[in-house]
Structure 1
């Protein structure tokens, strides 16, 4: 039977979480909101609307959401041509593809941002499909992004592994019924990833690749 390896992108395959923190913090600052970088970091991985709601609360003015998201996109877009892949990212995807895994990306990114991320990874030959923010009604921690990735792969949850770097990833994967692997390269502590559902935790893609045989992807 086919197997699917589903990957988050930001903080998992591409080293972008710190960039998201700074650019979201600046977008909030420009709009007159005092939001700490620590709190922004913990929210990275949510879709834009959910991230704003998580940080500003339900009593915020939702009419501000589009402007905040646009400001973040403009600030973050300055880095599109120099986004750095995390160590071993492309090699890991190519190895899994060679081993018979169907590799699918599940990300809240879309459009030009998603294109920049794929260029950074530089492993399109190993990627079968993408479940982006444009494809689902609800982003992580809802299971829809992972479930859509499984549909693209044509694989049941029992034959899939989801790799991510945030608690939102682990919760989404757990709700979708897949085994979850956490990576520390996004800056979230091991204990938090395990509590959210990670069955195994590695430092980064290179570490997972080096220990692939003993991992859930072995």
Structure 2
């Protein structure tokens, strides 16, 4: 039976979390909201509406959500031509593909942003499918993005491993019934990732590639 390796992208394979923090912070500032960057960082990995609610609270003026999201998208879009993949991220995907695993991306990115991330990875030949924000009703930490990735891979949860960098990733993977591997390169503490459901933690894609044979992906 086939096996799958499902990957989050931002902060896991591509070094974009802090770009998202700064551009969301600026979008909030332009709208008159002065929020600390650490609060934004803790929300990275959520979809736009959930991120805004997490930072500003459920009692915010929801009429601003679309404008805030559009401002962030415009600010972040300035970096599309130079998004940096983490070292050996592409090599990790190619190794897993070469070993017979179906590699699927599960990301809240879509459209031009997703295309930019895939260009940064430069590993399209290793990617079986992508579950983007356009494909699901609820984003992480709901299990739907991971469940959809499993559908695209054509494998059951017990034959898959999900790799991410945030507590939202770990909670989504746990709720979908897959084993979860966390990477520290997104800037979230090991203890928080383990508490959220990570069964193994590695520094970054290069460390996971080096330790692949002893990892849950083996």
Superposed CA offset, 1:75-127 (max 9, x none): 00000000000011000000000001000000000000000000000000000
Deviation at 1:183, TM superposition (A): 0.1
In the other structure, the counterpart of 2:155 is 155
Q: Which residue number in structure 1 is paired with residue 127 of structure 2?
A: 127
Deviation at 1:34, TM superposition (A): 1.1
TM-score by length of 1: 1.00
> 1:167: which partner in 2?
167
Partner of 1:176: 176
Q: Distance in 2 between matches of 1:157 and 1:73?
A: 33
Structure 1 residues 86-105: aligned runs within 5 Å: 86-105=86-105
SS in 2 for 1:115: helix
Gaps of 5+ in 2: none
Could you list the runs of 4 or more consecutive aligned residues of structure 1 that deviate by over 3 angstroms after TM superposition?
A: none
Partner of 1:11: 11
Partner of 1:58: 58
2:35 counterpart of 1:35: yes
User: 1:75 aligns to what SS in structure 2?
Assistant: helix
**How many residues matched?**
218
CA distance in 1 between partners of 2:146 and 2:59 (Å): 30
CA RMSD of aligned residues (A): 0.3
What secondary structure sits across from 1:162 in the alignment?
Answer: strand
What is the rounded CA distance, in whole Å, between the counterparts of 2:205 and 2:217 in structure 1? 12
Which residue in 2 is equivalent to 1:185?
185
Confirm whether residue 116 of structure 1 aligns to residue 116 of structure 2. Answer: yes
